[in-house]
Structure 1
Amino acid sequence: MAPSPAIDDYLKTIYHHTEWQDAPITPSQLAAELGLAPSSVTEMVRKLAAMDLVSHRPYGPIALTDAGGERAAAITRRHRLIETWLVREFGYAWDEVHNEAEILEHAISDRLLEGIDARLGRPRFDPHGDAIPDAAGRVERVPYVRLREADPGHRGRVVRVSDRDPSLLRLLDDGGITVGADVVVRDAQTLELAGRAVALPAHADEAVFLSR
């Protein structure tokens, strides 16, 4: 199928929606995620369904077909490998890579992508802790609990931080709350890191995921 950044952005957004929770995405949620008018999303979803990339009934949720899932995993792989490459090889901070990867994921060749993957040592996770699909679309998941659902006293490792809000990423980084950090939950707004209390910014309890 011919490359199409617009199609890939739709499929990637649908794919991401169910990575960390099970509820399928609705047309209104998809429109909000993409920042588009609902009427525009409705028309594109019809086209994607006609291409057998999604399944959708009027007023119902949207799900990827097998073909749509394969394509979504492929573009997600590109995006996350590029983010990892920019952080490791070019010194980008984790809050700076998303927009760059959005551009580059549509521009680089398969050969260059394979070279990046090999040079990085076939990483399984990107800088935010999101799984990088392998060349066959397979991903490795880890058991997790979202911070807002963790009990006080829970000990765990930060396995993922949502990259939705770059300013939140910067604030968490300033406090040492990064992927791989070992923490103890004091409450939904406070973590203990290396014996010190770290007060978290607003909405961090929704963005931080800990090992179960």
Structure 2
Amino acid sequence: MASPAVDDYLKTIYHHTEWQTDRITPSQLAAELGLAPSSVTEMVQKLAAQGLVTHRPYGPIALSDEGERRAAAIIRRHRLIETWLVREFGYAWDEVHDEAEVLEHSLSDRLLERIDERLGRPRFDPHGDAIPDAAGHVDREPFVLLASASPGHAGRVLRVSDRDASLLRAMEAAGVAVGADVMVTDAGTLRIGASEVALPVGAADAVWLSA
């Protein structure tokens, strides 16, 4: 069952548990994909029959080992392409997601390998998300969501969610970048160097720091 639609399901399930541990529910999956719950239920049953997910009626959905392997492969493509567009073509980090969505289904494995080699085999994309290697392995360090970090917590910005392009632009304008050393002053501000930076609305649930 090789198709972009199947890949999108697997990618969404994989992505859901990258930065937290709760498995995705059918209703959450439907909301993420913008589809009717009945359509999602039907597809999940097909994925289960193909051995790509495990699922019981009304329960959460998990990737099987094969589903995990396939999801990691398509996410590897997406994030390498995002990194390529930023480094080689001058795209901003808020511009690459939609382009990568198109290109991830059309690039050959040979070209993807050449891109990875040219970029120096990067471990993270422009938003801080881990790029799986060719075997599907990823490197992550302990992290904490900004909304859960206590005042005084010091760490590096590990990841900024790419879900909202306008938030990415606001974060860039505020001087918040992946890799920056910061200290949490309160839920709405960070200290970066000698400056205290007011964060845009929604940032606390879209930024992850080293634990």
- Per-residue Cα deviation, 1:72-129 (whole angstroms, up to 9, x for no partner): 0000000000000000000000000000000000000000000000000000000000
The residue number in structure 1 matching 2:67 is: 68
Match of 1:188 in 2: 187
1:5-20 alignment runs, 5 A limit = 5-20=4-19
> Does 2:45 correspond to 1:53?
no
In the alignment, structure 1 residue 107 sits paired with structure 2 residue 106: yes
Distance in structure 2 (CA, Å) of the matches to 1:149 and 1:68: 31
Does residue 1:38 correspond to 2:19, yes or no?
A: no
Task: Find the residue that maps to 1:191 and give its secondary structure.
Answer: strand
User: How many residues of Structure 1 are paired with residues of Structure 2 in the alignment?
Assistant: 211
**1:139 partnered with 2:154:** no
Looking at structure 2, the residues matched to 126 and 189 of structure 1 have their Cα atoms a distance apart, in angstroms, of: 25
Structure 1 distance, partners of 2:60, 2:144, is 25
- Displacement of 1:154: 1.2
Structure 2 residues not aligned, in runs of 5+: none
Secondary structure of 1:176's counterpart equals coil
Equivalence for 1:79: 78
What is the match of residue 198 of structure 1?
Answer: 197
| Amino acid of the structure 2 residue aligned with 1:17 | H
Runs of 4+ more than 3 Å apart: none
> d(CA) in 2 for partners of 1:103 and 1:30?
21
Aligned residue number for residue 28 of structure 2? 29
Hey, what's the Cα distance between the residues in 2 that align with 1:131 and 1:210? 14
**Structure 1 residue 164: Cα displacement:** 0.7
Q: Give the Cα separation in 2 of the matches to 1:209 and 1:65.
A: 27
Unaligned runs of 5+ in 1: none
Question: What is the one-letter code of the residue matched to 2:179?
Answer: G
Task: Provide the secondary structure at the position in 1 that maps to 2:191.
Answer: strand
Percent of aligned pairs with the same residue? 74
Please state how far the C-alpha of 1:3 moved relative to its aligned partner.
Answer: 3.3
Measured on the aligned residues, the alpha-carbon RMSD in Å equals 0.7
TM-score (norm 2): 0.99
Letter matched to residue 205 of structure 2: E
Task: Note the C-alpha offset of 1:62.
Answer: 0.6
1:113-154: CA deviation from partner (whole Å, max 9, x where unpaired) = 000000000000000000000000000011111111111111
Q: Compute the TM-score of the two structures, normalised by the length of structure 1.
A: 0.98
- Equivalents in 2 of 1:158, 1:60: separation in Å? 34
Following the alignment from structure 1 to structure 2, what is the Cα–Cα distance between the partners of residues 60 and 29? 11
Measured in 1, the distance between the counterparts of 2:157 and 2:140 equals 14
Distance 1:91 1:3 in 2: 32
Deviation digits for residues 26-46 of structure 1, max 9, x if unmatched?
000000000000010011001
Aligned to 2:95: 96
Secondary structure of 2:107's partner? coil
